Each structure stands twice: as C-alpha cells, then as structure tokens.
C-alpha cells in the first residue's frame, strides 16, 4: 500500500469553503461533514469504524512513526471523524475502540531505560498515545515493543514474535493503560 502521507488541497473533492485562504484543518472538517473527502481517506475511515482494536505496527523512525503512517494519522483521523471541539480525549469519537502500538526499534532496551542515552521508552510514546490516540478517544493498550530485532539472534527474534502471538490470544481481556502523565513520566 502506497498511502499518500501529504495533507493537501487534493484531499477535498469539489469546492473548498474558503478558496482565498486554504486552511487544511478547516477544509478537511467541512469536507468530512458533507462526505467530500477524497476516497482513500474515506476507505481508511471505514476500516477504523469497523474495527474494535486498531494495531499500529511500525519500525520506530526518529522516536515516532515513519512518515507514511504519520500521514495516515494526519489525513484519516480528521476533525468530524475522530474528534470534534468539544469531543476529544475521553469524549473523542473513537472512544469505544482500543488502539495498540506495536513497534520495533533500532536501539536496545538498555538505551530506552530512564537512565539510558535515549531516555525511557515511555517518553516518546506520549505524543502518539496521548496526543493522537487518546485525543481521538481510543483506549490505549500497553505497547508491544520489540527492541533491536536487527541485532538479535534468530532465536531471540522468534521469541519476540512468539510472545506477541501469545499476547494476542488474550488481548481482549486486557485493561487499557491509564493514559496520563504519571504513566509516561512518573516513577
């Protein structure tokens, strides 16, 4: 899938509400309300609507998602679909859904400890889990992090996949994390 990550004028089909001054957020919101978003966005929104749990699987690029997935967030989770003002965080439109970040890192687990050079891994989860997912109302399950598979042995890699498979068997029984600053920055 070669998803378009750029949020542009092309995302709105037909006329925009203010052609003199293009404001992406405003125009996407208006287009969402009248069903005038471009089809690749609508297709993705339908998938989200049907899902009980959305799993984001990605390699960590610069402490975040690769741009193609960031663009999915930017374009698909627009105002009117995923949230409104008011209508965010616990009142976000996706509040009856679960979300989970499953990611692989380049750095080792030791680098992502509070005392490691890259700081606690929870620090970089804040914008993604709280700022984006929780903002849309998602209840966030604990992240699945596979540290440094590139430098792991074949056996270690198999163990990572096996533990993820094992977890998925009982994923519906899990309680979401408490998506507040203490989870990310507390002791």
List residues near a second copy by CB under 8 A.
2, 5-7, 23, 25, 61-68, 70-71, 73-74, 77, 89, 106, 114, 117-119, 123-124, 126-128, 130-132, 135, 150, 181, 184-185
175 phi and psi, to 5 degrees? -95, 140
For a second copy, which is the closer residue by CB, 62 or 172?
Answer: 62
Dmax (CA) for the chain in angstroms is: 59
- Find, among 93, 95, 104, 109, the residue nearest to 69 by Cα: 104
Closest approach of a second copy to the CB of residue 173, in Å: 29
Where are the extended beta strands (E) located within the chain? 53-59, 98-104, 139-140, 144-146
Q: Work out how close the CB of 148 gets to a second copy at its nearest, in angstroms, rounded to a whole number.
A: 11
Minimum CB distance to a second copy smaller for 80 or for 106: 106
CB 111 within 8 A of CB 123: no
H or E stretch at 154? helix 154-169
Nearest approach, Cβ of residue 166 and a second copy (Å): 26
How far is residue 72 from each of residues 39, 44, 119, measured CA to CA in Å? 13, 9, 27
Half-sphere CA count of 86, side-chain side, radius 13 A:
2
Q: Which CB sits closer to a second copy, 67 or 171? A: 67
Q: How far is the CB of 177 from a second copy (least distance, A)?
A: 15
Nearest CB to a second copy, comparing residues 13 and 118: 118
CB of 77 to a second copy, least distance (A): 8
């Amino acid at each position: 899938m070669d998803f378009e990550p750029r949020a542009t004028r092309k995302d709105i089909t037909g006329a925009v509400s203010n052609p003199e001054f293009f404001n992406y957020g405003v125009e996407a919101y208006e287009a969402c309300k009248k069903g005038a978003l471009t089809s690749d966005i609508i297709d993705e929104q339908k998938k989200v609507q049907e899902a009980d749990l959305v799993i984001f699987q990605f390699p960590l690029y610069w402490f975040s998602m690769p741009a193609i997935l960031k663009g999915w967030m930017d374009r698909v989770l627009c105002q009117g679909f995923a949230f409104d003002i008011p209508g965010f965080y616990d009142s976000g439109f996706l509040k009856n859904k679960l979300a989970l970040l499953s990611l692989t890192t380049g750095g080792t687990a030791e680098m992502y400890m509070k005392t490691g050079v890259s700081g606690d891994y929870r620090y970089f989860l804040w914008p993604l889990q709280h700022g984006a997912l929780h903002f849309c109302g998602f209840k966030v399950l604990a992240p699945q992090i596979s540290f440094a598979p590139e430098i792991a042995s074949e056996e270690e890699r198999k163990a990572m996949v096996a533990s993820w498979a094992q977890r998925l068997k009982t994923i519906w029984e899990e309680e979401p994390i408490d998506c507040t600053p203490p989870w990310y920055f507390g002791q």
